[in-house]
Every structure is written in C-alpha cells, then in structure tokens.
A = this chain, B = another copy of it.
Amino acid sequence: MHDFELYNPTRIVFGQGSIARLADLVPAEARVLILYGGGSAERNGTLAEVEAALGRHHVQRFGGIEPNPTYETLMQAVELIRHEKLDFLLAVGGGSVIDGTKFVAAAVDYPGDPWHILETRGKEITRALPIGTVLTLPATGSEANCAAVVTRKSLQAKLGFGHPLLYPRFSLLDPVKTYTLPPRQIANGVVDAFVHVTEQYLTQPAQAAVQDRYAEALLLTLIETGPQALARPEDYDVRANLMWAATQALHGVVGAGVPQDWATHVIGHELTALYGLDHAQTLAIVHPNLLLERRDVKRAKLLQYAERVWGLRAGSDDERIELAIASTRAFFESLGVKTRLADYGIGAEAVERVVAQLEAHGMVRLGEDRAVDLAMSRRIVEACL
C-alpha cells in the first residue's frame, strides 16, 4: 500500500427532509448567497424550501450556473459577493453548481486575477469563503471533497483545481430531491460515479485490499442501482444507494494509498470544452478505449475487475479482459449513454483538435504512470470515432 493522508471534515447529513437542518448548520449571522443552476431548483420548489429553512438569515440568490460551470459566469457571482459583502455560500444543485461555488469561494478574496487559481490548480489559495451544499444530483462527489473543475469559454479550457479550504462545511443529501431528475441526468451520474471509481481502481496492484474491495463495492452497487434508478424514479432506497455510492466514489477512502489514473477525465474534459458534450458522455466514449489501449499495464487489475465485478471466470486472461471492457461499454449503453464520437455527430477532425488542446494545456504525460503521451492520447481518441 502506498503512503497516504486522509482528511475530510465535511459533515454529511443524509436522508429525507435533511434541508431542514440548514437552520442550525448555517451560522445565524451569516450573509448567505444561494448559488444554483437552471430553473429546475426554482420550479420544483427546492429553492423555496431552502429559503424557508434558512428562516431569518440574510439570503440572496445567484442562478444560471451552467453544466460545466464557466469562469465568465462565476466571476459575476464573485462581483455580487464583493458588492453585497456576503460571507457564506450555499450551493443548491449538482456537481457543476458545487464546483462553481468552490471557485467562487476561492476567488472572492484571491489576490490578483482569479484565473490564476486554475492555472496553478489551486495550490496558492490561502483563503476561501465557507461553503455548504444541498445536493440534488448524484454524480460527481463534489459535495464531499475539495476539488472542482471550471471551464473558461473564451479559451475553450476546462481545468481542475482543489484545496483543503474548499471542503464544504456540510452537505445535505436528500434522495427524494433526485426523483424529478430527467433520465439523462441520472444515467450521466451513474457513468460519472462509475468512472470516478475505475480511475482509482483500474491501475496497478498496490496490495490495498480494503480500497480494492471498497471500489468493487461501489461498482457493484452502481451496476445494480443504475438501471433500477431509471426504471423506478421514486424508489427511495434505490435513489439513496445511488446517491451514497456517487458520494463515496470521491469521498477519499477509495483512492487512499493507491495509484490514480484520471487520463479518461482529462481527455474527456477537452471533448466537453470543444464540443459541449456532457461530462459523462465523454467518459463513456473515452474510458473503454483507454482501458483497451492500456490493457497491458493495467492487466492484473483488469483481471481482478473481470472476476470480482463482472463475475467472469471462464476463458483466457485476454478473453476475460476484453469481455470486462466490453461489459463496461455495454453497461454505459444500457443506461442510454452512447459510447462513440460518431453517435454525437463528431468525426475524425476531433482527433487533432483534442490532441492540440491537450498539448496547449500541458496534458502530455497522463495516467497513473505518466505514460499517456500525446501519441497515445491520439490513438485513444482515434479509437473513439
């Protein structure tokens, strides 16, 4: 097992009606900005419920944070906060709103140009406003970690950052809030959580018995609950298990003391920045092909994955590996998430564009062993066509 440090001070409050806890979790004297996305939080009453729970707190709203939240939009929130002297950020939404809120929290008091936060991956953050979250979309795990991804439209750049000051003080997870999500968002969430786990699991053996079995626990849960969540939107336990699996995927324990890959995410981010694909769509496209390209270095873990997650015990090693990767792709497709660039109307010109973006962003040595260079990324994207 590799050495590791694990620290996660976010308080999780899980269950139906957990929004009521806002009353005692947000400091009484706080001047609160509620950040949210499109109009669904307004339409389905969640925003009103949040404001009712906050009672006599000073509360303002900032809506319109996009999927793949943009620097341009978030800087408007920063200006509002500075002008109104707000001091507590409450993200109401999914990973995009929470990621965007983390950027805003770090940017308000950042010395100099806040874009520098992304250029330096957050390393130089020294202050951040406190954050709480009300999660409405199980997917990214952002509600229980200190990382985020933000897009700058003008540069077609989608970059990640993180800092321990950005752990939410609390996150409220109410599975009932997911009942009204469109199937596409549920399916995307399952794929996102799944690939979060495999990015930390399908690497090289680190003799980390607990972490491996935890990863398998989450993958098995997602394979089981994903289709159920689509078929029975108001099944509380199914939605609860999906929500908790997605949070656990990036809560810290699965990735502690093991190699981590994340090349699928980095390549996927460029596809989103260039073509506006949903984040999970890019993962579903890239991940099977990355696994095929890297099957030799990932061989031992792919065999373990084949047996423990997909129950594959017959056939040669190579056959089981191929079947495990094919099963992964088929699982994504079964949820309705297409796995080829062509399915989204994207052709061969994407290859050079993605490679150029990776080069421009310095993403030239990806993967758990830093061996995914531009030539290998090119092969992976070619296989995605």
Contact = CB atoms under 8 A, between A and B. Distances in A.
Contacts of A236: 1
Nearest to A239: B1
A210 B214 CA distance: 8
A241 interface: yes
A49 interface: no
B210 A1 contact: no
A218 interface: yes
Interface stretch (A6-14, A90-98, A282-290): A6-14
A245 interface: yes
Interface in A1-33: 1-16, 18
A248 interface: yes
Contacts of A221: 209-210, 213
A207 interface: yes
Interface string A209-225: 11001101110110011
Nearest to A241: B209
A244 interface: yes
Nearest to A221: B209
A233 interface: no
Nearest to A249: B210
Given A4-B14, A8-B8, A18-B3, A218 B210 contact: yes
Interface string A229-259: 0000000110011001100100101001100
B2 A256 contact: no
Contacts of A342: none
Nearest to A243: B1
27 contacts: A1-B241, A3-B14, A4-B12, A4-B14, A4-B15, A5-B11, A5-B12, A5-B13, A7-B9, A14-B256, A14-B257, A207-B240, A208-B240, A209-B220, A209-B221, A209-B224, A209-B241, A210-B217, A210-B218, A210-B221, A210-B241, A210-B244, A213-B213, A213-B220, A214-B214, A240-B257, A248-B253
Interface of A: 1-16, 18, 207-210, 213-214, 216-218, 220-221, 224-225, 236-237, 240-241, 244-245, 248, 251, 253, 256-257
Given A209-B241, A213-B221, 4 more contacts: A3-B14, A4-B12, A208-B241, A240-B257
